[in-house]
């Protein structure tokens, strides 16, 4: 049974002055357009359309709040990185995302969704660089992991963990799939801890990854940003 099964839509925020005043603790979900952010929220809440999944990248333009319990929220942030988004929408994203991530005091942590086939792009790195100085935790969900082989899964986790080291010790990473619910229980343990929500007894501890030697995944072009911080790709 999902820890966040009681999640319901609360409000949409277009201006920072309209952020909920009753918030005690909230977790923000960010990610590149079409990385699987809305699907991840729906899967964690065990809903089919709690967060709207659009076939048009960049559709989410505001901060969408979902109530989990009194004063506790998931926040769906605008997707970033869609080049065809109109200039006024991109400007709106920047005016919302930056100040919210830097200054929202009730923000407990950031969940960053990355497509496991194209992780750690330049835009992902820029968002982490923006948020990391807050000292708050960042948990990376490598989405669509069902599309990788087991060896590819192990390899991408190792590469992303290595790439995140430059941002400090507050970053963690796991595999995730909305298709087969891979990693849902592990994510519940992390996020439930951030929110101070009691994890049901039927939620097992994370099992980790197999440690067999893995072959390099076929596509690693998107991870090339790490070369500028000394990591060979």
Tell me the C-alpha distance between 188 and 20, whole Å: 24
CA distance 188 to 27: 12
The pLDDT value recorded for residue 213 is: 34
What pLDDT is stored for residue 219 in this prediction?
44
Residue 14: predicted pLDDT: 87
Q: pLDDT tens digits for 63-79?
A: 999 999 999 999 999 88
Decide: 233 and 162 in contact? Cβ < 8 Å.
no
Residue boundaries of the structural domains of the chain: 8-229
- What is the percent of the chain with per-residue pLDDT over 90, rounded to a whole number? 61
Does the pTM exceed 0.85?
Answer: no
pLDDT of 36: 92
Domain range 8-229, CATH class: alpha beta
Residue 214's nearest CA partner among 158, 147, 142 is 158
Q: Is the pLDDT of residue 55 over 60?
A: no
Q: What pLDDT digit, counting tens, does each position of 84-138 carry?
A: 566 766 676 677 888 999 999 999 999 999 999 999 999 899 899 989 999 999 9
* Cα distance between residue 34 and residue 41, in whole Å: 13
pLDDT, one tens digit per residue, over 150-167 is 999 999 999 999 999 999
């Amino acid at each position: 049974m999902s820890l966040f099964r009681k999640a319901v839509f609360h409000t949409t925020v277009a201006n920072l002055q309209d952020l909920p005043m009753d918030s005690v603790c909230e977790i923000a979900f960010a990610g590149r357009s079409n990385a699987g952010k809305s699907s991840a929220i729906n899967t964690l809440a065990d809903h089919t359309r709690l967060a709207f999944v659009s076939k048009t990248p960049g559709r989410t333009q505001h901060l969408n709040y979902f109530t989990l319990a009194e004063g506790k929220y998931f926040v769906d942030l605008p997707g970033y990185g869609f080049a065809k988004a109109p200039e006024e929408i991109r400007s709106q994203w920047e005016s919302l995302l930056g100040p919210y991530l830097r200054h929202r005091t009730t923000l407990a942590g950031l969940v960053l969704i990355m497509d496991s086939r194209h992780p750690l792009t330049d835009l992902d790195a820029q968002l982490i660089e923006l948020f990391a100085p807050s000292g708050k935790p960042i948990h990376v969900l490598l989405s669509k992991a069902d599309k990788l082989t087991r060896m590819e899964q192990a390899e991408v986790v190792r590469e992303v963990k290595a790439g995140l080291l430059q941002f400090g010790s507050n970053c963690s990473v796991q595999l995730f799939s909305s298709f087969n619910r891979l990693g849902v229980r592990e994510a519940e343990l992390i996020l439930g801890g951030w929110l101070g929500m009691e994890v049901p007894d039927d939620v097992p501890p994370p099992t980790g990854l197999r440690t067999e030697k893995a072959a390099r995944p076929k596509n690693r072009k998107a991870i090339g940003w790490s070369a500028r911080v000394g990591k060979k790709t």
